[in-house]
Amino acid sequence: MLTRRGFAGIASCALCSITGFAATDASAQTPPAATPGVARKILSQTDGPTPGYVTLIVDIEIEPGVTIGRHTHPGIESAYMLEGGFDLPIEGQPTKSFKPGDAVVIPANTPHAGGKNGDKKSHIVSTYIVEKGKPLASPA
């Protein structure tokens, strides 16, 4: 099981912001350096909903002016914006202005990013349902 301490140095991807993290029962692969201006905290990690998958709930804070690079996840990401906001380009869809109170579901393996973060901190809670043994996020 991945601990909060083990997760602290994990790199980010887009909203999810955890590039290089392997969603496994054991601890993550050797974590790369954290993305400056992005803080993450695992609130919950549970096996399932089906064998071979893990569900993570992650609290994400992004400092003003920080953008998240284009990336994918090996499963679904569901995100809810608590404060702040940014442009959310999702491949195959028009770019959305993601603002407080908005929720989005990003399909598995769909490239997306976060840009033009403005002058306020962004605060998001994301749920990931991803395949075990694969990096939680990969550059796209």
Report the CATH number that the domain containing residue 85 is assigned in CATH. Answer: 2.60.120.10
Whether pLDDT at 26 is above 80: no
When divided into structural domains, the chain yields a total of 1
* pTM for this model (two decimals): 0.76
Report whether pLDDT(14) > 60.
no
In the chain, % of residues over pLDDT 70: 76
Read off the DSSP letter of residue 12.
Answer: P
pLDDT of the residue at 107: 97
Burial of 87 (0-12, 13-18, 19+ CB in 10 A): middle
Provide the domain limits for residue 112: 4-139
